[in-house]
Amino acid sequence: MCVLYAGIQEKLGILNGGLVYAVYDYTAQQPDELTFKCGDAMTVLRRGDECEREWWWGQLHSPPAPHSPTHGYLPRNLLGLYPRVKNPVLSHDAGRTSAPDDHLTDTGGLAAVAAS
């Protein structure tokens, strides 16, 4: 399964014309970073290089927060090939006690593969 995970990581930001989705919320820490919410679509315009592999340059497709840029750096570890979606079975189970994000399913395939 680690080989599958590595293959997905290598293609992230290339497949689908560079279209990726946020799998977690992120608040920009610097003026050249993008703030985004879980599920926001982005296009990777430039992947990292040999010196910097963890941050990519991209464009946010969702309306940005006021006074926020639409182009900026993205932390690649918060991106996936598909958005996280609500699991209707878990989100409607009233008698279940869960963590805040327990009703979300990682459809990016990265977390599920890494856990196996």
The range of the structural domain enclosing residue 43 comes to: 2-115
Nearest by Cα to 12 from 105, 85, 107, 76: 76
Q: State the total domains in the chain.
A: 1
Q: In percent, how much of the chain has pLDDT > 70?
A: 59
* Residues 41-67: tens digit of each pLDDT: 999 999 877 787 899 999 998 776 677
Q: How far apart are CA 109 and CA 90, in angstroms?
A: 19
CATH number of the domain to which 11 belongs: 2.30.30.40
* Residues 69-99: tens digit of each pLDDT: 789 999 999 998 877 776 667 655 555 544 4
Distance set, CA 108 to CA 59, 76, 91, 93 (Å): 19, 12, 19, 24
